């Protein structure tokens, strides 16, 4: 019997860890339906009041639009750059390959505060104002390593022979990429775009350095709202963001399945 | 093909980081202007009295605490995933990664909903009659640690799980057949072989905690400021760029030293492996 007891302890412990990880998320969702003026317990019924208020809040809607544009552009740029670099790393041999790869992955290990200060100093030296452009290039730097990791992992799994076969049959390098490599890479590309979109959409620390009052993203807006207190409106906004982050990967999985079927 | 990626990282990361180093030697005029110079005044100011070094020491201490707690909380679930034969294994793994996708600021902020005076825990304890008035659980090191663990635990679990999965199962069977108990086989075979994942996870958690800004800002009190908060306040708050740069250089050198030592003796690639 001791084996079973040990295993059930392990299982109970794991369940507790899940509770710990999901408690803050569950509480946000539950409280966002509380009609009370203050975002706290007890629940006094069920209402969509704060969601309605949210939909009427001009500055939040503006931040949302800004975040969506920023996230989409970041995803496009960083995935395009990432694919090229991943191709070079996986398909070609050249001196200093490992060092360069580590250099490109290094933003993962550098604190965002440092990235934030560094880019801001650079912009200051160039005598440029903080702008949407700064947010965009900053987010590309933040997301590039993740795209690189995802696309590289997938590319290693695609046999070189497919490309070589196409080339033997007379396809040029560009044609080969378009007709053979790209379709095979599609799941990784979508995953990379999704990942960079999410990171950009959620990023707070570095973005706080780069954002201005005119160029707020949703997390920066929430950060500002938190200065006063946790209002039910923030919980409602949190619920919207949680639903979005769960829905987007599901949508992507659906799209990948559809693409691979056609 | 590497051109765009390399120039992005070179112009937007390498050069800007060099700028921090250069700026850290500059002077700040009383008017607020920055004067190009080469002097160590900003560093001297940091180590002048105990105030700034104590923030650095606190940052290291909180990072070590986070690593320790993530290990204690993360090893068993990782082991559970490795040994479990449930059909839902991939779903469970996906679930543990899910918080990683959910807005960091929302997850951090929500600890106020749980630990606050009118939060979940106080509400339950008051209702149960165990308390007569709410207990203050927020704005201390404990609440900061809650936020940090919730953010970093998936990284630790994944790193340990990846290295557990890499263990040749016949080794454990061999130990068992030679008369080891389940516990002995774990202690003598599985645990030592999972150490690469443990150390990779610990490094990642340490580095990410040491540079963290949000949890101390939202869940901490005035006494829980960490080095990233100090940098932010100097750069964005008081616009003291040279001093802010010097603190950034100090933080960066600390992390580079740790990562370099780690890479020298253990190799850094394990970390990127688990992120895939």
- Residue-wise pLDDT for B126-136, tens only, equals 888 888 888 88
User: Would you give the DSSP letter of residue B233?
Assistant: I
Phi first, then psi, for residue A172 (nearest 5°) are -75, 170
| Buried/exposed code over A192-202 (b: 16+ C-beta within 10 A; e: otherwise) | bbbbbbbbbbb
Q: How many CB atoms lie within 10 A of CB A150?
A: 25
pLDDT for B266 beyond 90: no
pLDDT for B276 beyond 60: no
Across A120-124, B188-192, B244-248, the highest mean pLDDT is recorded for B244-248
Q: If pLDDT is split at 50, 70 and 90, which confidence band does B64 have?
A: very high
pLDDT in tens, A220-255: 999 998 877 777 888 899 999 888 878 877 777 777
- pLDDT for the residue A1: 45
- pLDDT for the residue B59: 96
pLDDT in tens, B104-134: 999 999 999 899 888 889 888 988 888 888 8
Chain B residues lying within 8 Å of A246, measured CB to CB: 98, 101-102
Instruction: Quote the pTM value.
Output: 0.89
Phi first, then psi, for residue B52 (nearest 5°) are -70, -45
* A42 vs A83 pLDDT, higher one: A83
For chain B, the domains span: 3-275
* B276·A209 Cβ contact <8 A: no
Nearest to A13 among B9, B76, B259 (CB): B76
Question: Which domains, from first to last, does chain A contain?
Answer: 57-261 (1.10.3720.10)
- pLDDT for the residue A260: 65
Mean pLDDT value of segment A16-22? 93
List, as one string, the DSSP characters of A162-208: HHHHHHHTT--HHHHIIIIIHHHHHHHHHHHHHHHHHHHHH--HHHH
Q: Is B59 on the interface with A (CB under 8 A)?
A: no
- pLDDT for the residue A4: 59
Average pLDDT, chain A: 85
Q: B27 forms bridges with which residues in the sheet?
A: B35
Q: What angle do CA B142, A242, A148 make, to 5 degrees?
A: 90
Mean pLDDT value of segment A95-101? 79
Residue entry with tokens 């500055």: A59
Binning chain A into helix, strand and coil, the percentages to the nearest 5 are: 80, 0, 20
Best B113, B184, B227, B245 residue to mutate vs chain A (most A CBs within 10 Å): B113
Average pLDDT, chain B: 88
Q: How far is B142 from chain A (nearest CA, A)?
A: 14
Best B109, B233, B264 residue to mutate vs chain A (most A CBs within 10 Å): B109
- pLDDT for the residue A20: 94
Mean pLDDT value of segment B34-63? 90
- Counting residues of chain B whose pLDDT is more than 90, the rounded percentage is 42
ipTM of the complex: 0.88
Nearest to A40 among B23, B118, B153 (CB): B118
CATH fit for domain B3-275, picks 1.10.8.60, 2.60.40.10, 3.90.950.20, 1.10.3720.10: 1.10.3720.10
- Counting residues of chain A whose pLDDT is more than 90, the rounded percentage is 32
CA distance A45 to A41: 11
């Amino acid at each position: 019997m001791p084996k079973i007891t040990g295993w059930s302890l392990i299982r109970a412990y794991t369940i507790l860890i899940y509770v710990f990880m999901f408690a803050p998320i569950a509480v946000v969702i539950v409280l966002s339906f509380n009609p009370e003026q203050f975002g706290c317990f007890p629940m006094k019924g069920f209402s969509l009041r704060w969601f309605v208020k949210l939909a009427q809040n001009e500055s939040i809607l503006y931040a949302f639009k800004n975040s969506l544009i920023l996230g989409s552009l970041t995803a496009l740029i960083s995935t395009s750059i990432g694919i090229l670099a991943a191709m070079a790393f996986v398909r070609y041999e050249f001196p200093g390959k490992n060092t360069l790869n580590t250099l490109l992955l290094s933003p993962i290990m550098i604190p965002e505060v440092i990235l934030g200060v560094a880019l801001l100093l650079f912009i200051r030296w160039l005598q440029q104002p903080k702008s949407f452009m700064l947010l965009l290039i900053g987010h590309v730097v933040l997301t590039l390593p993740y795209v690189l990791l995802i696309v590289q992992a997938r590319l290693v799994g695609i046999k070189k022979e497919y490309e070589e076969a196409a080339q033997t049959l007379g396809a040029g390098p560009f044609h080969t990429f378009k007709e053979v490599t790209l379709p095979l890479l599609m799941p990784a590309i979508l995953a990379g775009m999704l990942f960079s979109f999410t990171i950009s959409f959620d990023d707070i620390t570095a973005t706080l350095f780069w954002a201005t009052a005119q160029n707020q993203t949703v997390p920066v807006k929430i950060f500002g709202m938190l200065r006063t207190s946790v209002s039910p409106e923030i919980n409602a906004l949190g619920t919207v963001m949680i639903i979005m982050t769960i829905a987007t990967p599901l949508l992507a999985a659906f799209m990948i399945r559809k693409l691979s079927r056609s | 093909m590497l051109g765009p990626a390399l120039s992005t990282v070179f112009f937007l990361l390498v050069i800007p980081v060099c700028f921090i180093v250069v700026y850290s030697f500059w002077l700040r005029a009383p008017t607020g202007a920055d004067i190009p110079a080469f002097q160590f005044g900003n560093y001297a100011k940091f180590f002048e009295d105990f105030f700034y070094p104590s923030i650095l020491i606190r940052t290291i201490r909180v990072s070590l605490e986070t690593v320790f707690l993530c290990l204690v909380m993360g090893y068993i679930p990782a082991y559970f995933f490795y040994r479990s034969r449930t059909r839902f294994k991939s779903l469970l793994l996906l679930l543990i990664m899910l918080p990683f996708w959910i807005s960091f600021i929302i997850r951090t902020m929500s600890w106020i909903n749980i630990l606050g005076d009118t939060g979940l825990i106080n509400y339950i304890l008051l209702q149960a009659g165990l308390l007569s008035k709410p207990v203050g659980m927020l704005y201390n090191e404990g609440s900061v640690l809650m936020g940090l663990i919730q953010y970093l635990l998936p990284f630790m679990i994944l790193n340990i799980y990846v290295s557990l999965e890499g263990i040749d199962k016949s080794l454990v069977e061999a130990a068992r057949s030679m008369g080891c108990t389940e516990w002995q086989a774990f202690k003598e075979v599985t645990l030592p072989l999972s150490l690469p994942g443990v150390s990779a996870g610990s490094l990642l958690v340490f580095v990410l905690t040491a540079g963290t800004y949000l949890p101390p800002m939202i869940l901490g009190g005035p006494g829980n400021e960490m080095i990233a908060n100090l940098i932010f306040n100097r750069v964005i708050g008081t616009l003291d760029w040279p001093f802010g740069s010097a603190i950034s250089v100090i933080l960066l050198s600390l992390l580079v030293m740790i990562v370099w030592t780690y890479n020298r003796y253990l190799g850094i690639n394990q970390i990127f492996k688990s992120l895939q």
